[in-house]
Every structure is written in structure tokens, then in C-alpha cells.
Structure 1
């Protein structure tokens, strides 16, 4: 008798996704396609997901009531905690059941651990931030950074596998540490790419030709592949929002302080992204670093 025929085998976990933004929506589509069923919840209804077969939950309570595990793809912990308690909150829909809460938000590792300590004993928490951008979410090739107990992260890895490559990095909070390290590299790279693109343009060097050449060398990266056309054309329409980098770099600074690490680059990156937001550019894609560099200069680009 196969496990599918065994009446004593546990039913597959019912999964939900909370937060359907640039990352949450494509991840939800992949999970729905892989599983055949999914419950979703967000501030605004997503007709495309519902038409594809997802069950729409009007409230956080409804989301929990129809699931055994929820992937949270909100900007940060405050947006989650705002809807945990109360008659319509997530906890009201969980009751005294065992439940798996997957925190995909980029958040403070300390904050994640403190939240887990405040939750009822039956609620297991795994932090699972992701990297790979919107294109990686659509293609199912995200890097998924797991923190939690071995048993909990094994369950999380099985649930999230359709979205990419899940890897356990340590106890609860380890995924957020890894994401902070990732964002330190991403922030420094996109700032360097923006500055280099503008520097080339102001020197009469075609940015497209420049990146075609340098992309095959040490300057090449997945980030350059993803943002090359945006940097060359100046298209920084919203996708990977620049202002989110401010909180991500703040978390990296918190980790540096906690571990008594004295980084040289991190303070400069924080100052640059703070200035991007102050200039009103925070809602643009991270490729806005080229526009940011141009606006900080006294003279416009000289063209023939």
C-alpha cells in the first residue's frame, strides 16, 4: 500500500500566503501551481490568484482557520503584529492547534526571536527571508534562508521548495542574519553599478557597451544581469523598492553592533540610502542609484 492509500497517513499541510506584493504574489502563484490549493490574504484582493484557484481569506483569522502553515511576505514584523490579536487576528483563527508560522519578511533576528517567545507554545516559527528579486520569484529560483529548529525548517523547506532553494542556516534568526549579509552585498553592488553607469555616460562611454564588456569579468553579477537594462535606460519604475534597503541596512548595523563588528562600508551605504529616501526617490526601484548619482552632480550629462 502506498502512502497515498494509507488512511493513517497525515493529510498534507494546508498552506497560506499573507502579503501579495512584488515577491509574495509570484511566490503564491508558484505554490498554488505546485500544490493545487492555496489560501491567500492581503490588503487588496488579487483576482488573478483567485481565478487561478486560490481561496481568498478576507481576514487574518480566516487565513489561519483554513491553513496549518502561513508564509508571511509583509514588509516587516509590525505589519504582522498589527493583525495577530483581536477577534479578526491570526491567533483567533489558530486557536490551540499546532501551527507553523513562516516569516519571509526581512526583519530583525532579535525581533523574530522575541515574537516567537510571545506566541502560544503550539505555534512554531521559522524565519525564511528570500533573495533573488521579483524575477527570481517568478522563475522559482529564490535563495530561501531558513532559521529555526531542524524539524521546523525541514517542514518549511518542503513547503517552500517550489519557490527556490531552501537551506537551513542555524537556529531561529539565522535566516535574518543571512539576509542582512545579502543586503549588504546587494546595496553596495547596486550603488557601485549606478555610480559606474553614470560615470561612463558622463565620460562619453556608452553604458550598454560598457556592461556588455565588463559583465563577463569580475564586475559581472546576477544583480547586473537583472538591472542592466534599467541602469542603461534609466528605468527605475517601482519593482525592488529602494526605501526597503534602509531598514535592511539598519538590521545589518544592529547585527554588527551585537557581534562587535566594525564595518567600514556599511555606514556609507546607510548614509547613501538614507539620502535616496530624503530626495524622494525611495519608492523607485533600486536601479535609482544611477538617477541618485546624477542628481547629486552639479552638471547634467553632456551628449554630442
Structure 2
């Protein structure tokens, strides 16, 4: 495993015309860091972001125009289908790229198998790196994301130099390795936030102040970046959207695919999948992942009613 940072930047990297496709909760702050570091950036999304264009970003109204204006694009869409439906056709990214060599950086949390299959279908001149991120909206805004790279050494070296303003890029192996790492990450996140939600409600129902509980336990083995990020939400019962809980269903499905492909028989993963499936079934999928406390309340109240 090779850690890559800003010192790996090369003249070739600084000459690359970079774009960002997808300007949601993660993509927009990442684009802001890239624009600040590079002084130029092309962006494309469903709607224009004045905060970026006013700061000097070039707005590309279509995927084709984004491809024409760039040599590399970071894709921050929910998954591969949202990318693939705008790759081909007269207004697709590939039409704008033409016959040039091009670097496609897939930052979505996706299936590693799906990423490899997409790369196999694309022309050889389109080089693919998977680069999912961890750190949430807070990490994106602070420029402290963990960026998981999969691809050839040369392509991931260039990707690391391009993405360094957003956090810490690390090459983990060949194409798809970044997505495997993200699946592992999401398993830990899902298990942790579910435990935090249940423990918070258990404490509250036992007349233990959750704020005092987490202030104490946060300094021990129960402490984590996730607890630090979501402690106030859990204590207040605030699950207004930030990191959407429903996305975890997709992420855990990819983890299950990796487990099946590698002959791994997990004990916890099936339970996590059941829990997040139930969260979505209860209509809570659009809430923040801190909804696990509300989920625990609803399940408990349902049991009491029965």
C-alpha cells in the first residue's frame, strides 16, 4: 500500500484540465477545494452552483461540454447508473472527449465488479480509477477525506496528485480496490451508528443522560470519529438529512457481493442489511444516519403496542 500526498504532484498533474460531475453534499465542497488549489475547474450537475461559478469555476451545461473542457473528471454521483446514462449519445461525456486520452475518476460508492465491467466496456483511451471517499460532509468541507484509490499505479499516482486538496489519497490495489475498501468502511459505519442509536435510547430509557454518557465514553474504546460527528444529533434526536441513511442499503449490498465473491461468511453483515432495509421500509431512508435512534424508538414502541 502506498500513501500519496501533495508531494507526488507533477507538472503533468498541474497541466491536467480537471472537472467535477455531481455537486451534492460531497461533490460541491470537494469542488471548492479543487478550485481553490488549482485556480480553474469545470463543473457539471443538474443545476448550476453560483458559489462555484462566482468563484471562477467553468459551468458545463451538459456532460458533453464537460468532457470537451477537461482531461480528467471526478464523478461524485450516487452510483454507476447515474453516470452511465450520460456517458454516450450526442450530449454524453464520451462525445465531448472524442479521440483524446481521458481519466475518469469514479468517486461514487459502487460495486467493484460494476466498476471493472464499465472500464472493460469503455474505449481503451478512457482510463478509469475508482476513488470513493470517507469522512462525510464534515470531512468534505474540511478537506480531510480519506480517498480510496484503485487502478494502475500510473493512473492512481495522477489521481492522487489531482485529489490531494480534498484529503488523503491512498492507492489500495488494482481497479475496484477502492470500492472494496469503501464497502469495508461502510460495514464499520453501519455497525457503529446502529450501536450508537440503540445505546443512546437505552440510556435515555434508563434515566441516564445521553449527553453525559457520550462525553464520558467518547474518551474510551467507544469513542470514534462517527460518535464525535453525530453525538449532538443522537442526543437531541435530530436526524435532519446530512449523510442519508437509505444509501447504506446499496453500500451494504456491495459489501455482501464482495463477501460472496471472496468466500467470506460474515455474521454481522446480514443483520446490518436487515436493519437498514427496515429503516427504509419504515420511511426513514431520507433521514440522516443518526435516524438509528428514532428507528430504535419506533421498533420499541411497536413491540410495546403489541
Q: How high is the TM-score relative to the length of structure 1?
A: 0.95
Q: 1:84 aligns with which of 87, 108, 112?
A: 87
**Is the 1:294–1:300 contact (alpha carbons within 8 Å) kept by the matching residues of 2?**
no
Q: CA RMSD in A?
A: 1.5
Pair 1:96–1:184, CA change in 2 (3 A): same
Structure 1 position 64 matched with structure 2 position 76: no
State the partner residue of 1:101.
104
**Is the 1:31–1:160 contact (alpha carbons within 8 Å) kept by the matching residues of 2?**
yes
State the partner residue of 1:158.
161
Pair 1:10–1:129, CA change in 2 (3 A): closer
Q: Secondary structure at the match of 1:165?
A: strand
Structure 1 position 195 matched with structure 2 position 190: no
Query: CA shift at 1:124, angstroms?
Result: 0.4
Alignment of 1:120-269 (within 5 A): 120-269=123-272
Q: Secondary structure at the match of 1:288?
A: helix
State the partner residue of 1:46.
49
Pair 1:10–1:29, CA change in 2 (3 A): closer
Distance 1:234 1:60 in 2: 40
State the partner residue of 1:5.
none
Which whole-Å deviations, capped at 9, do the CAs of 1:150-203 have from their partners, x for residues lacking one?
A: 000000000000000000000000000000000000000000000000000111
Distance 1:151 1:90 in 2: 23
Q: 1:12 aligns with which of 15, 18, 23?
A: 15
Query: CA shift at 1:298, angstroms?
Result: 2.3
**Is the 2:13–2:158 contact (alpha carbons within 8 Å) kept by the matching residues of 1?**
no
**Is the 1:40–1:56 contact (alpha carbons within 8 Å) kept by the matching residues of 2?**
yes
State the partner residue of 2:273.
270
Pair 1:120–1:9, CA change in 2 (3 A): closer
Distance 1:272 1:9 in 2: 47
State the partner residue of 2:3.
none
Which whole-Å deviations, capped at 9, do the CAs of 1:91-126 have from their partners, x for residues lacking one?
A: 000001000000000000000000001111111000
Query: Which structure 1 residue ranges, 4+ long, deviate > 3 Å from structure 2?
Result: 8-11
Distance 2:85 2:237 in 1: 37
Query: CA shift at 1:52, angstroms?
Result: 1.2
Q: Secondary structure at the match of 1:223?
A: helix
Count of matched residue positions in the alignment of Structure 1 and Structure 2? 294
Query: CA shift at 1:53, angstroms?
Result: 1.0
Distance 1:160 1:86 in 2: 28
Q: How high is the TM-score relative to the length of structure 2?
A: 0.94
Which whole-Å deviations, capped at 9, do the CAs of 1:10-33 have from their partners, x for residues lacking one?
A: 971000000011100110001011
